[in-house]
Amino acid sequence: MKMHNPPHPGEILHDMYLDPLGLTITAAAAGLGVTRKALSELINGHTNVSRDMAIRLAKAFPNTDIRLWLDLQLQYDAWQAEQRAEAIHVNPFVMPPEVMPA
């Protein structure tokens, strides 16, 4: 399902996981085994959820899994890309019907 202007995964991490647990960025970073700067950049939307970070988050928050974190990032990225799509101009490649995959 397409979401309208989905929040950055860092915002979800902060609002739905860190805040309710009373975790500071410093404490959460230590628990995740990352630097405070790396976690702060994620929470503030300056970096993306990497595969490694998705593993860490899934392990730290057992009610989540890797796919959740990566899907949140994908939804955010896709929406952002769709906002720029009209400005990107390409020449479409049209395949003749006889070579179209079945």
CA–CA gap between residue 45 and residue 49 (Å, rounded): 10
Domain range list for the chain: 9-77
pTM for the model stands at 0.84
- On the question of pLDDT at 99 being above 90, the answer is no
Contact 23, 43 (CB under 8 A): no
- Tell me which CATH code domain 9-77 carries: 1.10.260.40
Q: Express each pLDDT in 37-93 by its tens digit.
A: 999 999 999 999 999 999 999 999 999 999 999 999 999 999 999 999 999 999 999
pLDDT for residue 3 = 57
